[in-house]
Chain A
Amino acid sequence: MKVLVIVRQVPDSTTNIKIQAGGQDIERAGVKMVVNPFDEFAIEQAVQLKEKRKDVASVTALIVGPATAGEALRTALAVGADDGIHLQDEAFDRLDELQTAALVAGVVKDGGYDLILIGKQEIDLDSGQLGPALAELLDIPHVGTTVKLEIAADGKSFVARRRIEGAEEVVQVPLPALITADKGLCEMRYPSLPNLMKAKKKPVKVLKAADVAGFAAATANLGGVKMHAFQPPPERPPGKMIPGDPEPAAKELVRLLREEAKVV
């Protein structure tokens, strides 16, 4: 069984976001970049499968991004992925998520991957398109927002538990398939320094646009949205503090919620 895990690099959630003059993007300089937290769950799950099952031949980590994204790929390798694919070309920076899905589909479609793992969404743009769109383009089923994954003993199918509104759904799906990871699937271990050193020696294949057959055609026929006019969030007017002892304050709060805000 071959496992593929897709990794994204995103700004650290605690970082301050500054918008460029003109509003065409955020300021990238000095922003601390980390592995997308939902992809961390996917990486850990992939590595655990390899550790627990004899039939997992390899775990490959894939990232699309500039040279600096190699750091996130290295984290995946340090946690236990065997090799990496780094799709790195200026032409890729202009792709939207559906087009990125088409790019990745073109690269992995003949790779013989039985299971593809990815986080349910990226915490920077929060769009969550890449996983399901990639599954569609590869014509394999996907299970979104997965919190538990058990592969059958014969390695031909799996049972997954996924989070839906107010409930959890248990589904059985044949491989090959794609899983998007939600919190709860598993927490990523902290890569040790020796493993980070070893990761530098693991093979990483760097692919440019020219290396991806049919790249132009695959990305021309879908997607193509363009982000523009970035703005800070609207300011909220200053709130009303309700003074006094707990009981009268609680009563006054309920009154304001009923009569002023009209929400209860």
Chain B
Amino acid sequence: MTNDILVFAEQRNDKLHPAALQIVTPAKELAAKTGGKVVACLIGGTLNAAVEAIDKTGVGAIVTVSAPALANYSTLRYRTALAAVIGKVQPRVVLLPATFMGRDLGPRVAAKVGAALATDVTSLSINAEGSLDIIRPVYNGKASCHVGFPKDRPAIASVRPNTFPAATGGGGAARETLAYTPAAGDDRIDVKEVAKAGGEVKDVTEADIIVSGGRALKSEENFKIVFELAKELDAAVGASRAACDAGYQPHSRQVGLTGKTVTPRLYIACGISGAIQHLAGMRGSKVIVAINSDKEAPIFKLADYGIVGDLFKVLPAMTAEVRRLKG
């Protein structure tokens, strides 16, 4: 093993995932401790813009694996390619974003190369023995714990999006390409169709801002006022389990324990009381706003800003104000 830190820079269609730029930030801090360099790894079809973008983050080297078979994400092919890069670079630590791709790929690659793994981490350091030690939330955010890694094998961690700022600085990193050599059975997963869910609006896991509605919206049609505010803020629309179970919104928008875990910069909870089930999915948000007619609602305990009031009046007034300020 070298002292290098490998970063899996997730991209789709030659466009980096925002989390790819973010995970370079802790990677640089770790490399400063180990005395190694940050090596970015990109896997895909045509890779140009994504390579240029990652080169503006100050990584020390860039390894690309580019092939037509890798144009779309495929678990088995990407596993083979990333394992090959790990074999070549021999990094001490590998970081992936804890996105769908990172969560899908991390365990498979770890099992393939004989590494150790922690997922969805929020803080990383190198301990006195020179091993990776991370912090991650557990028990639906009701606690967190450290996870220590063994020293004799690569340490892989997937990092929760929006935990670190995007890295900047540098350029002109050494570039290397690696061929994709398919492993037997790599073609077993055949992607037939990718259907965009929910039309034009962003997915909650990708958004910087989320406006979320609860059962108090009372109908699918009434969610219109949530969508209108979301549009002005360039936000995604989320929903509580109660609102999804009532059929107001599809389960793909559900935030919470059996829905999605989100960590946006701003989370606006509208008519959501704040059941443990919901808090589990959004308590990692940076700024939380609660709008609810019940002043005893538990969501106010977590909120940075709160309005006790009728959301059918407050939301349209917010939308109008944001629109007015944008001019």
Residues of A within 8 A of B (CB): 11, 13-14, 16-17, 19, 26, 37-38, 96-98, 101-102, 123-133, 135-137, 139, 141-145, 147, 159, 163-174, 177, 183-184, 221-233, 236-237, 239-242, 246-247, 249-251, 253-254, 256-258, 261, 263-264
Contact = CB atoms under 8 A, between A and B. Distances in A.
Interface in B112-169: 112, 114-120, 137-150, 153
Contact residue range for chain B? 35 or more
A253 B305 contact: yes
A230 to B, nearest CB: 5
Contacts of A139: 185
A164 B100 contact: yes
A141 B107 contact: no
A230 B144 contact: yes
Contacts of A126: 119-120, 137-138, 140, 261
B192 A173 contact: no
Given A128-B119, A254-B322, A264-B233, A165 B100 contact: yes
A141 B143 contact: no
Nearest to B196: A167
Given A26-B139, A133-B107, A164-B100, A171 B189 contact: yes
Given A170-B191, A173-B190, A13 B147 contact: no
Contact of A129 (B110, B114, B195, B233): B110
A166 B259 contact: no
A172 B192 contact: yes
B51 interface: no
B198 interface: yes
A15 to B, nearest CB: 9
Interface stretch (B21-29, B37-45, B308-316): B308-316
Contact of B309 (A165, A249, A258): A249
A263 B307 contact: no
6 contacts: A124-B138, A129-B110, A165-B206, A167-B194, A222-B114, A242-B305
B258 A38 contact: yes
B90 interface: no
A174 B188 CA distance: 7
A166 B192 contact: no
Contact of B143 (A96, A145, A230): A230
B220 interface: no
